[in-house]
């Protein structure tokens, strides 16, 4: 018995040539046609029927049957692998070199499209959301950052993970599965110095501050872009009022503090791009698109200009998760400003980045004089360097905005 197999590059078809005849006997007529037979989904039935006929005519019937079954199994595995082996598409947006807002892995939309946010919280009228610690607490059941952790949230996370695994794969999901399965225990048993409010991924190295080497490419890119980011910050900040009680210009938000004033200008808020603000800062938006580890696809990703006026104290608080590192690029840093994370104080520096894990208890303050002016940084959320690519895709799926 002789078996010849050819698989096309596209995987859409394969050619089979089968010659099975006892020594000294004439070759059956059907083999002349089988030599050029193309195997497709429609031709499987005819091929198997012809193969079985050839086996009956041959002395090695058991071997022929085994080869046919093996061939069918290989073909099935190949087709299944082609259909389900691709990674999930990522959502979120960034600006390409052409200046268009590109949804990661998805369709494109121009910056002139409808604004996804712009000070309006989903499901509530503009201005009605409570502002605190740089986030709009919309009190919506669909917002992971605003929802209180509990059994309902844990079940939603587990169902989302199961759905991801059914669509794609369980490979590399050990830590994510462990974290989702035991999320309630992790959040309740964490030491008070590090206590993320929404999601804790186990077995990640923890420290209040990280070396710039942890995300070297993105840190260096941000620092090289310092002049462009500073110029665009000044262009949107120049109209911000200096007096308390005066309405902020479009795009700026006031955050609750025990004293002083803390304002933010978001380009991405909880994974949702703010197109109106992005149009006003095109160079900054392009920089976001060039970052390799920016969390652009889930609710843990933010990018904004953050301003502390003199005399401001930000209340001690925890971030929502330990899967990210928050990066601050110093834009304007007068004396008397400090960031304290996990009890460790650090000072910003103009043109340089600070990387810290905001799931640790942290606070910031500006004790300078009015003459010193505000402290301003560009804040962006990057992936923790020890979160693997497969885990990032799964977390993007589980924590997709609006899921």
3-state secondary structure 232-301: HHHHHHCCCCCCCCCCCCCCEEEECCCECCEEEEEEEECCEECHHHHHHCHHHHHHHHHCCCECCCCCCC
pLDDT at 13 > cutoff 70 = no
- How does pLDDT run across 260-318, given as a tens digit for each residue? 999 999 999 999 999 999 999 999 999 999 999 999 989 999 999 999 999 999 999 99
Residue 68 lies in a domain: no
Q: Indicate which CATH number applies to the domain containing 346.
A: 2.60.120.330
User: Which residues span the domain enclosing 306?
Assistant: 209-238+249-387
**Number of compact structural domains in the chain:** 1
Please list the residues that pair with 378 across neighbouring strands.
305, 329
pLDDT at 20 > cutoff 70 = no
- How does pLDDT run across 175-226, given as a tens digit for each residue? 999 988 887 777 777 778 999 989 999 999 999 999 999 999 999 999 999 9
Find out whether 277 and 118 touch, Cβ atoms under 8 Å.
yes
Give me the helices (H) in 6-138, please.
Answer: 30-34, 44-57, 61-84
Find out whether 375 and 348 touch, Cβ atoms under 8 Å.
yes
Beta strands across the sheet bearing 101-103: 93-95, 101-103, 108-109
Exposure of 243 in the CB half-sphere (CA atoms within 13 A): 3
Residue 301 lies in a domain: yes
Assign 16 a pLDDT band (cuts: 50, 70, 90): very low
Residue 181 lies in a domain: no
Residue 354 lies in a domain: yes
- How does pLDDT run across 250-274, given as a tens digit for each residue? 899 998 888 999 999 999 999 999 9
Residue 263 lies in a domain: yes
Tokens 């952790």 identify what position? 149
Residue 27 lies in a domain: no
Residue 131 lies in a domain: no
- How does pLDDT run across 205-216, given as a tens digit for each residue? 999 999 999 999
Give the strand pairing for 209-210 and 324-332.
Answer: unpaired
Residue 220 lies in a domain: yes
Find out whether 206 and 194 touch, Cβ atoms under 8 Å.
yes
| Size (the chain), residues | 403
- How does pLDDT run across 64-105, given as a tens digit for each residue? 777 878 888 877 776 555 444 433 333 344 333 333 333 333
């Amino acid at each position: 018995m002789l078996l010849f197999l050819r698989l096309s590059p596209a995987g859409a078809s394969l050619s089979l040539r089968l010659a099975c005849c006892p020594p000294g006997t004439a070759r059956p007529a059907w083999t002349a046609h089988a030599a050029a037979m193309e195997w497709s989904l429609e031709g499987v039935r005819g091929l198997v029927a012809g193969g079985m006929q050839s086996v009956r005519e041959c002395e090695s019937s058991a071997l022929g049957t085994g080869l046919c079954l093996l061939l069918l199994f290989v073909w099935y595995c190949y087709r299944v692998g082609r259909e389900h082996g691709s990674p999930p598409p990522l959502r979120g947006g960034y600006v390409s070199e052409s200046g268009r807002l590109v949804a990661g892995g998805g369709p494109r939309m121009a910056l002139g499209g409808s604004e996804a946010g712009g000070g309006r919280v989903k499901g509530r009228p503009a201005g009605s959301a409570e502002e605190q610690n740089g986030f709009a607490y919309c009190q919506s059941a669909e917002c992971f950052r605003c929802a209180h952790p509990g059994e309902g949230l844990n079940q939603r996370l587990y169902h989302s993970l199961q759905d991801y695994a059914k669509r794609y794969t369980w490979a590399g999901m050990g830590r994510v599965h462990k974290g989702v399965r035991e999320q309630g225990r992790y959040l309740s048993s964490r030491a008070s110095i590090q206590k993320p409010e929404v999601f804790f991924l186990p077995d990640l190295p923890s420290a209040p501050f990280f070396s710039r080497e942890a995300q070297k490419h993105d840190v260096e890119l941000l620092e090289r872009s310092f002049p462009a980011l500073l110029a665009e910050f000044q262009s949107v900040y120049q109209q911000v009022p200096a007096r308390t009680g005066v309405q902020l210009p479009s795009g700026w938000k006031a955050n609750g503090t025990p004293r002083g004033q803390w304002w933010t200008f978001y380009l991405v808020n909880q994974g949702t791009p703010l197109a109106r603000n992005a149009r006003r800062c095109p160079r900054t938006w392009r920089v976001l698109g060039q970052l390799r580890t920016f969390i652009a696809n889930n609710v843990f990703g933010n990018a904004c200009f953050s301003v502390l006026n003199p005399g401001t104290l930000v209340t001690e608080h925890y971030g929502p998760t330990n899967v990210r590192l928050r990066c601050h690029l110093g834009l304007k840093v007068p004396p008397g400003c400090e960031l304290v994370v996990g009890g460790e104080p650090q000072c910003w520096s103009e043109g340089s980045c600070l990387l810290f894990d905001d799931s640790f208890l942290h606070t910031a303050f500006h004790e300078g004089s009015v003459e010193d002016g505000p402290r301003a940084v560009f804040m962006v959320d990057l992936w923790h360097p020890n979160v693997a690519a497969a885990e990032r895709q799964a977390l993007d799926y589980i924590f997709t905005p609006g899921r």
